Amino acid sequence: MDHACAFFDIKSSSPDTSQPGSAAFPAWHDAPDTVFSSRSNTFIPQSVRSSMELLFAPMEGITDGIFRTTHASVFGGIDHYYIPFISPTVNGHFDRREMRLLFPSDKALLSAVPQILCKDPSLFLHCTDMLRELGFMEVNLNVGCPSGTVTAKGKGSGMLLDLDSLKRFLDQIYTSASLPVSVKTRIGYVSEDEWPALLDIYKNYPIEKLIIHPRTRQDFYKGPIHRHALESLDDLPFPWIINGDLTTTELIYQAVQQYHCTGVMVGRGFLTNPGLARQIKTGQKMCLSELVTFHDTLFRAYQAELPPNAVLGRMREITKYFSFCFAHSDKAIKRLFKAKSIEQYLDSAALLFSLPFIDDPCYPSSADVES
């Protein structure tokens, strides 16, 4: 395989211009390119690929500005990156954590969509105005987060408990919002039987796109999705996106073909296989050198921004998804999570990256867990 990607000595503070294979490089840079394909690549017709929207789901603690910018530069293929939710307050400004989520921005903000978690229409509208001033082109309303701490405040999927209140909220934001507003929603709070009434409400608004996670709040992220909720949506007056249980090219293609949705939103599938979106659009699978470059670039960027313990936490959370790209990775990933220092982390990562590479990995779960 091609090793044209840039390699760094990530134990130092600056790029190492020596050749791969020198003592300066972590051991995985010398790993043989042994490749195991887990599945045959599903052929997706050009007509479907060209029209399908691929959205990267907001993943709290992972898909911040550094991650989005690095992923776009190494792999690409994503139409829009959705930013983990911002919860506006009466303070009327973004705190340090929120600014780190928002920036660095992606290609002049054209591919990044901030998600807002809010039940107060005035706060939502003020937040939208601030995001517009920063250059964003769309905002997303979170009506899907099932977290108990969120729903207890009547936010996220907690908004589904009172449909009259939800309608009043939507009336105000769609009358006055300074940016197009998309909606990410569950199909109900307790039962899928709530979906028809909820869908009738959504049809009355100029929603930029409706992103549907076909589970209820009570389902959380477990069990099969409610596929019946995705049928007969051809008459929706706006584009709609399916989210949840989409981890391979096969599943994504089947979803688009079966339900005639505009596209898909994927979380863990794009983390497990960072090259999956590009693979869907062009057929080009991820190679080992690209994954190494992605890891190294993320590591350097976080090392420049965060203290060592925070770097360890962030990189462990990301690299655990990379473990599915390697055969027999259990021992390496356990060792990685026990790492107490940067040096121990790098040694563990070296062991992981030296294992036989799988160029078409799949996250072995029944659900994505996006916000």
Tens digits of per-residue pLDDT, 29-39? 443 343 444 45
Nearest-angstrom CA–CA distance, 314 and 266? 20
Rounded Cα gap, residues 181 and 174, in angstroms: 8
Average pLDDT (101-109) is 61
Across 115-121, average pLDDT: 97
pLDDT at 103: 78
Q: What is the model's pLDDT at position 370?
A: 46
Predicted confidence band of residue 64 (pLDDT cuts 50, 70, 90):
very high
Residues contacting 47, CB < 8 A, separation 6+ = none
Query: Is pLDDT larger for residue 111 or for residue 7?
Result: 111
Higher-confidence residue of 17 and 11: namely 11
- Spatial separation of the C-alpha atoms in residues 40 and 298, rounded to whole Å: 29
Which of 24-33, 162-171, 352-361 is predicted with the least confidence, judged by mean pLDDT? 24-33
Look at residue 104 in the predicted model and tell me its pLDDT. Answer: 63
Q: Tokens 């925070």 map to which residue?
A: 310
pLDDT value of position 82: 96
Q: Is the pLDDT of residue 24 over 70?
A: no
Rg (CA), the chain: 21
Mean pLDDT, residues 299-318 taken together:
96
Q: Does position 241 have pLDDT exceeding 70, yes or no? A: yes
How far, in Å, CA of 112 to CA of 107, rounded? 8
336 vs 312: CA distance, rounded Å: 10
pLDDT at residue 69 above 50?
A: yes
9 pLDDT higher than 50: no
Q: Which two tokens stand for residue 30?
A: 């010398």
**Domain extents in the chain:** 46-282, 287-356
| Mean pLDDT computed over 269-279 | 95
Residues of the chain above pLDDT 70, percent:
84
Whether the predicted pLDDT of 192 surpasses 50: yes
If pLDDT is split at 50, 70 and 90, which confidence band does 48 have? Answer: confident
Average pLDDT, the chain: 85
pLDDT of residue 181 exceeding 90, the answer is: yes
- In which band, very low, low, confident or very high, does the pLDDT at 144 lie, cut at 50, 70 and 90? very high
Residue 158 CB burial class (10 angstroms; 0-12, 13-18, ≥19): buried
**Does 110 score more than 60 pLDDT?**
no
pLDDT at 99: 80
The answer on pLDDT for 116 being more than 50 is yes
Q: What is the pLDDT of residue 45?
A: 78
Q: Which fold has domain 46-282?
A: TIM Barrel (3.20.20)
Look at residue 43 and tell me whether its pLDDT is greater than 70.
no
Lowest mean pLDDT among 42-56, 60-74, 113-127, 250-264: 42-56
Q: What is the mean pLDDT of residues 122-145?
A: 95
Q: Is the pLDDT of residue 7 over 50?
A: no
**How many percent of the chain have pLDDT more than 90?**
70
Span 81-96, pLDDT tens digits: 999 999 997 677 787 7
